Amino acid sequence: MVSHRSEDSVHVIGASPSVMVRGVTKRFPGMPHAALCGLSLCVERGEVLGLLGSNGAGKTTLLRILSGLLRPSEGTATVGGFDTVRDSTAVHAAVGALFGGAVGLYERLTARENIRYFASLNGVNEIEQQTDQMVALFGLEDFADRLVHGFSSGMKQRTALARAMVHQPHILMLDEPTTGLDITAAIVVQEFVLRCRSEGRTVLISSHNTGELERVCSRVVVVRDGAIVAETRPGVDIATGELRAFYLRATGSGA
């Protein structure tokens, strides 16, 4: 497995991992502690990696750096072979990202118009065809021509996922994608991640829900105070249902 504690210890399995993070530190002005502290990580092509940690652990900051939305203070990160700072345009094309649930949707547009607009921003050639495919994939047929403003949280999340996937990215960054959703909507998101896994897409997903991560992830890393402190493969290194206990041991939060 991949070692994660230092830049020198990162071991690449295969010639071209999807994501490589080397010694990344991120500091924000006015904050007494770094959000990320020399974090290193390798994610293989087709891997679904779960980021498990408390609020403020650094999960969202890491995903934002990998999506090209933040610059690291130190260290480097590559996604799909592209440097997230030097090649941010290529990173944006390779990545589908979902942050803050449905934040970023235009609520005075319909679901279809939102998806179509983001298709045009990402240079999709067959916009109508791709939009129709996303509508069907996320079960939006009966809602596609309604204003997003009147949608439930679950329907907004489906629309946001459709928007993130419309340019067929090879790599997905999902930050707490089921937070605030009812069980039906959460299952839709989980089934989508499992579909991505079966298609060989690379997915990084942050969540507080250990059951969810056990279901969809091939590997889970525990993030604490801006560093990766442990990792495991559910169903391989630990038995199904043991991720919560693993997390508590790794963070010293329980016996």
Distance between CA 50 and CA 83 in Å, rounded? Answer: 22
- DSSP-assigned states of every residue in 64-133: HHHTTSS--SEEEEEETTEETTTTHHHHHHHEEEE-STTTT--TTSBHHHHHHHHHHHTT-SSHHHHHHH
Give the type of residue at 32: P
Q: Is the pLDDT of residue 106 over 60?
A: yes
Evaluate whether residue 155 is within a structural domain.
no
Evaluate whether residue 129 is within a structural domain.
no
Evaluate whether residue 72 is within a structural domain.
yes
Question: 12-16, 77-81, 204-208: which range is least confident on average?
Answer: 12-16
Please tell me the predicted confidence (pLDDT) of residue 222.
Answer: 98
Query: For residue 154, what are the contacts with CB-CB under 8 A and spacing of at least 6?
Result: 181, 182, 184, 185, 188
Evaluate whether residue 233 is within a structural domain.
yes
Residue 102 pLDDT grade (very low, low, confident, very high; cuts 50, 70, 90): low
Structurally, the chain folds into a number of domains equal to: 1
Q: pLDDT (tens digit, 9 = 90+) per residue, 186-237?
A: 898 899 999 999 999 999 999 989 999 999 999 999 999 999 999 999 999 9
Evaluate whether residue 137 is within a structural domain.
no
- Stronger pLDDT, 186 or 49, i.e. the higher one: 49
Residue 247 pLDDT grade (very low, low, confident, very high; cuts 50, 70, 90): very high
**Positive or negative: CA dihedral 177, 125, 47, 82:** negative
Evaluate whether residue 160 is within a structural domain.
no
**51, 44 in Cβ contact below 8 A?**
no
Q: What CATH number is associated with residue 217?
A: 3.40.50.300
- Stronger pLDDT, 45 or 5, i.e. the higher one: 45
Give the type of residue at 199: E
Evaluate whether residue 65 is within a structural domain.
yes
Q: Is the pLDDT of residue 4 over 90?
A: no
Cβ-based burial of 30 (10 A; exposed 0-12, middle 13-18, buried ≥19):
exposed
Evaluate whether residue 110 is within a structural domain.
no
Please tell me the predicted confidence (pLDDT) of residue 15.
Answer: 46
Distance between CA 20 and CA 7 in Å, rounded? Answer: 10
Residue 9 pLDDT grade (very low, low, confident, very high; cuts 50, 70, 90): very low
Residue 253 pLDDT grade (very low, low, confident, very high; cuts 50, 70, 90): confident
What residue numbers bound the domain in which 71 lies? 19-105+169-251
Q: pLDDT (tens digit, 9 = 90+) per residue, 117-143?
A: 999 998 899 999 999 999 999 999 999
User: Which secondary-structure segment (H or E) carries 154?
Assistant: helix 153-165
Q: Is the pLDDT of residue 14 over 70?
A: no
What's the whole-number average pLDDT of the chain? 90
Q: Is the pTM of this model over 0.85?
A: yes
